[in-house]
Amino acid sequence: MRAAVVAALMMLPRAASAQVPVAARDVTSGATTAAADGDDAVRRELAALRARLAALGEELRRERAARAELLSTVDADLQELDGRVVELSEQASGQEARVALVVAGTATGNLAMTSADRPAYSAALSPHFLWSLYGRALFEAHIDVKAGDGTTGLGVEFAQIWLPLGDHLAVGAGKLIAPFGFYMDAIHTAWINRLPDEPLPVADDVGVAPTHLYGAQLRGAHRIGGARLGGIAYGGSAPVLVLAGQEGELPAGALDQDRAGRAAAGGRVALRPVAPLEVGASGHLARVDPADAAMVDRVLAWTGGVDASFTQVAPHLDGTFSLHAEYIVARTNERGGDTYDRTRQGFYFQAAYGPSEVDARWLRRLEGVVRYDFVDRAGLAVEAPPRVERFAAGAAYWLQASLVVKLAWEIALTERPEMDTTSDKRVLAQVAAGF
Partner 1 sequence: MRSILFLFLCAAACSGSRAATSAGPAAGESGAELWAASCRRCHAMRDPADYSDAEWRVVILHMRVRANLDDGEVRAILAFLTSGE
- List interacting residues with partner 1 (CB under 8 A): 95-96, 100-102, 104, 130-132, 135, 138, 140, 162, 164, 166-168, 170, 172, 185-187, 189, 191-192, 219-223, 226-228, 230, 270, 272-278, 308-315, 320-321, 323, 325, 327, 347, 349, 398, 400-402
Q: Give the DSSP H/E element, type plus range, for residue 255.
A: strand 255-256
- For the chain, report the end-to-end CA distance as a whole number of angstroms: 76
For partner 1, the closer of residues 390 and 426 by Cβ is 390
**Smallest distance, Å, CB 123 to partner 1?**
22
- CB closer to partner 1, 53 vs 323: 323
Dihedral of CA 288/291/292/295: which sign?
positive
Shorter beta-carbon distance to partner 1: residue 123 or 171: 171
Measured CA to CA, the distance from residue 120 to residue 100 in angstroms comes to: 39
Distance in Å, CB of 192 to partner 1, minimum: 4
Q: Which is nearer to partner 1, 214 or 372 (CB)?
A: 372
* 12, amino acid identity: L
Minimum separation from the CB atom of position 322 to partner 1 (A): 8
How far is Cα 188 from Cα 207, in angstroms, rounded to an integer? 13
Backbone angles phi, psi at 317, to 5 degrees: -110, 5
Taking Cα atoms as reference points, which of 250, 253, 264 lies closest to residue 303? 264
The Cα-based distances of 253 to 185, 224, 256, 264, 289 in angstroms read: 26, 43, 9, 18, 10
Which SS3 state, helix, strand or coil, does residue 149 take? coil
Distance CA 381, CA 5 (A): 122
Name residues whose C-beta falls within 8 Å of residue 87's C-beta, 6 or more positions apart in sequence.
none
| DSSP single-letter state for residue 253 | T
Name the residue nearer to partner 1 (CB basis): 340 or 347: 347
* Distance of closest approach, residue 372 Cβ to partner 1, in angstroms: 9
Residue 149 CB, nearest approach to partner 1 (Å): 29
Residue among 225 and 417 whose Cβ is closer to partner 1: 225
In angstroms, what is the minimal distance from the CB of 288 to partner 1?
A: 28
Identify which of residues 340 and 348 has a Cβ nearer to partner 1 in the complex: 348
| Least distance between partner 1 and beta carbon 435 (Å) | 9
